[in-house]
Amino acid sequence: MKDSTRNFQGWLLFAPAAILLLAFTHYPTITTFIHSLYTNKSFIRPRRFSGIESYESMFSDPIFFKVFINNMWLALGTIPTSIGLAIIMALIVNKAIPGRGLLRMAYFHSNHASDDCSCKHMVVFLRTRNRIDRQNNGYFWL
């Protein structure tokens, strides 16, 4: 296989991940930062550029630093602990022990069940909302 073909295939494999990363992390971060430089629009006053006033106000508030330090302590306590426990559990379920399949299922089922449950809640919410919108527009949908 030629190098140019392999490079092209590599970019094709990388493209979906890069697009999703940009769409769901980078784009929202950039737009949130841009919106934070403006005031909120209301019926009384229009939206105006405030620059870094809100950031100056936030950094001058002593409660912000207390909350920031508490969050750092929480992150320092939970992230390394969860990574360590995940590595230990992965090593345990990878050993040749009796009931290994059940142990793997018990470990990974909780992850799958919570994801599945949250997806189903979202679908029910969207379908209910869609049904109400269609009833208001003269359509009925089951």
Question: Tens of pLDDT along 3-14?
Answer: 888 889 999 999
pLDDT at position 43: 81
pLDDT at position 91: 86
Q: Is the pLDDT of residue 15 over 70?
A: yes
Rounded Cα gap, residues 103 and 89, in angstroms: 10
Cα distances (Å, whole numbers) of residue 63 to 9, 66, 122: 51, 5, 35
Q: Is the pLDDT of residue 139 over 90?
A: no
The chain-wide mean pLDDT, for the chain, equals: 81
Q: Are 47 and 38 in contact (CB under 8 A)?
A: yes
Rounded Cα gap, residues 119 and 117, in angstroms: 5
Residue with tokens 């090593």: 91
Q: Is the pLDDT of residue 114 over 70?
A: no
φ, ψ of residue 53 to 5 degrees: the values are -60, -45
- The share of the chain scoring above pLDDT 70, in percent, equals 75
Rounded Cα gap, residues 35 and 28, in angstroms: 10
**DSSP string across 23-44:** IIIIHHHHHHHHHHTBPPP-SS
Question: Tens of pLDDT along 65-79?
Answer: 999 999 999 999 999
